[in-house]
Chain A
């Protein structure tokens, strides 16, 4: 989240799209009901289904699954062509004024630099024009035809209300009402928050969905203000935490990059990332990347990390490609991976194309499941009739199940969607012989290292170099681990005058204290401050809100630097005055930046210096046009899902996202509309938590059985009875379930053609208390987002027919 859960209470318009907060985040949803009740805020929901969120919304607009970019681009076009934008914000706080290279272009749905064979772009033309002074060239009048603003106007022109309706199936009046409500906030007086979740990420163009939303918020001036923001609702109590600490496949903790093959030295890695300012007086905070990276290496390798050995950089693995989940299963499928450790992970349920997953798991030598429950994955080899039709005799994979404690049986911290790190204490003893994750991992590490010490082997050096100096090597405590993430001074740190500002051994108070000479450590710079000299701030439980704006500054610790609303310098105008009294937040008081939050800015830089509020960007401003930062284009484009009921109405020749990765052989597993005329989408139900609670009696009572949601029209066409059995199949597999025939889904008119879609909840499998079902990912296609490789679960093709019940 750019903002926080409690900040949603400050919104005047709440827009839920690409998510269903009432269903998936019922507790956080209270802030939506608060905004409605206290401020008269309006709630609008755009979703293929009339959801539980829609049930309490003021406006609902339907949309065909997978066409969010067309819809959102239509909103962008509406704002631009009707001049409903927050002009001063756009001029000063975005890159609207920046001139783009002449070589950059867009035609027939493709940007300049496309390589059809490799399915990727040479992004060198996606850059600014540079001036003789070394800074990017701007036209503050926004009139130069090469400026981002003018290019943008042109780029979004095709997305008229008619075109949006033609692509997305949304009736024009319903679409225009959304536009009007969005535009009502483009003035600095009112604010809109956007809440999204996996309904936006799980597409082959997922990252661009979110980007388009960000553009809308920037045009309205809704970033950095209370009640604004683009807010990702995380699907686990701690999924923010796990992304932070670097379980992303190409990252180390704190969103720093893992080195790649072409970066043999630390310097070659850093050179690409310590961005120099693109404009005078800009902060360009990534200039500090080096300090964070070296501190990370010091944490990792301790005394063995020295300036002479590049602080152990050589010991880090160098990526050839990103090893995301889809690729993990692809390499398993190819027989190139022989062992898999699943820690709190049920990939048989979670990964696309279940039959491929089973085939991959069957080729492993061993599978380790570190989990509090017996997962469907741990029992992938077991025959469950038609729900998991395998022959155990043919599967040689050895499966180890290591029982682990649940969250309530261990101390530690959780990081919620608001980026707030909160400590919790263990509430119950570990069940039977289960151990905590850190005990299990430490035990594994220590044993493996011993084996390597004794026998040697490939990759032994990094293993031996790792600093494992915990009090008990077999049980690093959560307290020690959080301290380590925070970092400390390794020698006395002195300021320019030679005064000691941080004594050796002391915890660091902020990442501003980190140094690049090896004199500090800290394995995750963004958390620095959570466990500073003042102790463990994640334990704070002060629920006072002095400003009344939902800023609970002494509750836990919100990274970075305990900041609750990111980019909050943008809540004031270029002179440092609030845009409006109504939206007053952070402002220049003559001496410094003040307000209820921690300024996202150097607190003493005066407005006259014109330092931009987006300090992480070398421009100092936000990006409407994203340069070469995304693999599939500097502007979003409507691309159909890989499995689509129609050809792309804008660019008929292009199938799917042209820059999305498709593995060899997987192009053939896509189905086409001739054989699979119906669109399907997947989602959670509030009664269950992912695949865990199907094993919990109470949850199984509340939602006992897999079902498929079908419109009355489709049911009639296919002769499907309410509550009767149906079979749904794609080019990859089939599932059976009960038919929930509902008015909450309606067929849409797309490009003149009636398109039906159905909804499939994802919570059911073949292990647990709920009725057995085939995992929904028996149906889904193994293609991911071009940037993040998140699989396309939200829009794919199937067919459906009524059947008599399955034979148990």
Chain B
């Protein structure tokens, strides 16, 4: 058994990280802290998951979210996709393994991967709407969100969802509020089989090694850890029986990376765009110097008065 995280005391605790620990902030520059906090990670062991959805309900409860009662469309996935309220979702895939001839029911908990190199944050044009803490957690700051949806396009895992109610983007926070006071995420706490464990990224990798050895002893030669380098590694990792074929697990990307459009937009494009903006501003100044300011004439005032019905 992975040593459980002790329950909190009744005393209120000071958060272990905050503004001062930001290493990235969307559409802004930050001065990273001198020392980075221990990187955390959630490890989801797909081979231990029984698909009970306790994590999914714990997520709704802890985050005080309410999802609508849907319908059955022929599968166990409910709701059928991530939503602004459902930040984590069990996805079920029936897979007939051609090598063993056995049926496998691959059950994967989907949600934000908390990329070390977060595509959402890179794509985000709203200053401070997406932040990354030095422990690796990528969080959305809703008061700064403008609901443009660029984060959705920027995410290689198709995770954020835009609310039609408040037009803001939502996704898993890795329970940053719980982690800040020394607890694990709610999903991890609720998991009955320790398919979800939480701790430092190093510890999680070590634990994953044991699990992978166990899977290999049971004939899963390709068992391995999913910590994709294309996004600099992730702070949510999977143990997969078929690490060579992540796509088997309800389309988990084999080699996720930030979309070239976002890279271009935030790389070359960003500077090109800034140049265009600068040029436009310069043109305005030149125009002002040459043409002077627009002034309101008396005729203008009279016309306005007439339009207003002479009430002014």
Report the minimum CB–CB distance from A769 to chain B (whole Å): 6
Of all chain B residues, the one with the shortest Cβ separation from A9 is B1
- Give CA–CA (A704, B71) in the complex, Å: 6
Cross-chain contact of B94 among A53, A58, A702, A744 (Cβ < 8 A)? A744
Cross-chain contact of A739 among B1, B74, B79, B195 (Cβ < 8 A)? B74
For A, the interface residue count at a CB cutoff of 8 angstroms equals: 47
Residues of A within 8 A of B72 (CB): 703-707, 723, 737-738, 740
Residue from A22, A737, A739, A741 having most chain B Cβ neighbours under 10 A: A22
Cross-chain contact of A54 among B52, B105, B217 (Cβ < 8 A)? B105
| A34 CB within 8 Å of chain B | yes
- Give CA–CA (A40, B48) in the complex, Å: 13
| A37 CB within 8 Å of chain B | yes
Of all chain B residues, the one with the shortest Cβ separation from A768 is B69
- Are A22 and B69 in contact, CB atoms less than 8 angstroms apart? no
Of all chain B residues, the one with the shortest Cβ separation from A721 is B74
Within 8 A of B (CB), among A477-517: none
- Are A723 and B50 in contact, CB atoms less than 8 angstroms apart? no
Cross-chain contact of B103 among A30, A53, A60 (Cβ < 8 A)? A60
| A321 CB within 8 Å of chain B | no
Residues of B within 8 A of A699 (CB): 57
Of all chain A residues, the one with the shortest Cβ separation from B217 is A40
| A451 CB within 8 Å of chain B | no
- Give CA–CA (A26, B51) in the complex, Å: 9
> Beyond A698-B60, A702-B57, is A22–B75 a contact (Cβ under 8 Å)?
no
| A722 CB within 8 Å of chain B | yes
- Are A33 and B193 in contact, CB atoms less than 8 angstroms apart? yes
A22-65 vs B, Cβ < 8 Å mask (1 yes, 0 no): 11001101100110111010000000001011111010100000
- Give CA–CA (A193, B120) in the complex, Å: 49
Report the minimum CB–CB distance from A773 to chain B (whole Å): 11
| A356 CB within 8 Å of chain B | no
For B, the interface residue count at a CB cutoff of 8 angstroms equals: 42
- Are B70 and A704 in contact, CB atoms less than 8 angstroms apart? yes
B10-30 vs A, Cβ < 8 Å mask (1 yes, 0 no): 000000000000000000000
Residues of A within 8 A of B104 (CB): 55
| A697 CB within 8 Å of chain B | yes
- Give CA–CA (A806, B87) in the complex, Å: 32
Report the minimum CB–CB distance from B197 to chain A (whole Å): 11
| A654 CB within 8 Å of chain B | no
Cross-chain contact of A40 among B1, B74, B193, B214 (Cβ < 8 A)? B214
Give the dominant DSSP class at B's interface: loop
Cross-chain contact of B1 among A34, A54, A706, A738 (Cβ < 8 A)? A34
- Are A701 and B68 in contact, CB atoms less than 8 angstroms apart? yes
Within 8 A of A (CB), among B56-111: 56-57, 60-61, 66-76, 78-79, 94, 96, 102-105, 107
> Beyond A33-B48, A56-B48, A707-B72, is A701–B78 a contact (Cβ under 8 Å)?
yes
Residues of B within 8 A of A397 (CB): none
Report the minimum CB–CB distance from A170 to chain B (whole Å): 14
| B175 CB within 8 Å of chain A | no
Residues of A within 8 A of B66 (CB): 697
- Are B105 and A744 in contact, CB atoms less than 8 angstroms apart? yes
Residues of B within 8 A of A40 (CB): 214, 217
| B49 CB within 8 Å of chain A | yes
> Beyond A54-B105, A702-B78, A738-B72, is A26–B57 a contact (Cβ under 8 Å)?
no
- Are A738 and B96 in contact, CB atoms less than 8 angstroms apart? no
Report the minimum CB–CB distance from B84 to chain A (whole Å): 14
Of all chain B residues, the one with the shortest Cβ separation from A702 is B53
- Are A700 and B69 in contact, CB atoms less than 8 angstroms apart? yes
Residues of B within 8 A of A29 (CB): 50, 192-193
| A743 CB within 8 Å of chain B | yes
- Give CA–CA (A40, B211) in the complex, Å: 11
A766-780 vs B, Cβ < 8 Å mask (1 yes, 0 no): 000111000000000
> Beyond A704-B69, A740-B74, is A22–B103 a contact (Cβ under 8 Å)?
no
29 contacts between A and B (CB under 8 A): A22-B52, A29-B192, A29-B193, A33-B195, A34-B1, A37-B1, A37-B211, A40-B214, A52-B52, A52-B107, A55-B104, A60-B102, A687-B52, A701-B67, A701-B69, A701-B78, A701-B79, A704-B69, A704-B70, A704-B72, A705-B72, A706-B72, A723-B72, A723-B73, A724-B74, A740-B74, A740-B75, A740-B76, A771-B69
- Give 3 closest A-B pairs by Cβ, nearest first: A723-B74, A22-B50, A55-B105
